[in-house]
Chains A and B, each alone.
Chain A
Amino acid sequence: AQSVTQLDSQVPVFEEAPVELRCNYSSSVSVYLFWYVQYPNQGLQLLLKYLSGSTLVKGINGFEAEFNKSQTSFHLRKPSVHISDTAEYFCAVSDGGDDKIIFGKGTRLHILP
């Protein structure tokens, strides 16, 4: 069965600094990969997804992620964070064609003034 590991439970970063949130998944022949964001007291919202094609995926709010098959990673990056990016970020995976999405435990991003 697929699994996702988010290596950091919390990441503090200063405003306007770059950030990388790490995600590794268990290997499979064909995977779909996602990043979701959860703002305080809200449901999850899709940031970006990788299904196939270019390994660099751009999402909303200036975020991007890179699919690295050899390292089974799908790290999320933003070159300059804003206070409004304070949220919890979830990496998720599904087997290509499978209905189910498996979520990681989440990484809480703290933006420091």
Chain B
Amino acid sequence: DAGVIQSPRHEVTEMGQEVTLRCKPISGHNSLFWYRQTMMRGLELLIYFNNNVPIDDSGMPEDRFSAKMPNASFSTLKIQPSEPRDSAVYFCASSWTSDLATQYFGPGTRLLVL
């Protein structure tokens, strides 16, 4: 299996621009998680979906962030407008609902907002 796929791997943008991060979970997994990793705050859970439905978005920092999962094989995390403090590595992870304890992580998207 291909593993969790994220795109782009690197993104450099200017403050105020819209940023869209993409994730393809492992086929057959029905839970999907978005995380943000920074030096200061470590790894934070932003939102997670179960069977394409958002279950907990309490980690989403503010209204500038939004996430969607239109089908079982695709999810997006959008930041609009972006700010320098959004610079971080964003990870997507997926798991089977029957084994939520084991999450498979993608390689991450390194975002730099200038």
Contact = CB atoms under 8 A, between A and B. Distances in A.
Q: Do A and B come from the same complex?
A: yes
Contact of A99 (B42, B50, B102, B108): B50
Given A42-B107, A43-B108, A100-B48, A105 B42 contact: yes
Interface residues of B, number: 20
Of A101, A103, A104, A105, most buried by chain B (CB within 10 Å of CB) is A101
Range for the number of chain A residues in contact with chain B: 20 to 34
Nearest to A33: B101
B106 interface: yes
Of B4, B50, B93, B103, most buried by chain A (CB within 10 Å of CB) is B103
B4 A100 contact: no
Contacts, number: 47
B105 A44 contact: yes
A3 to B, nearest CB: 12
Interface in B77-114: 91, 93, 100-108
B12 interface: no
Contact of B101 (A32, A43, A103, A105): A32
Contact of B4 (A43, A46, A94, A105): A43
Interface of B: 4, 31, 42-43, 45, 48, 50, 55-56, 91, 93, 100-108
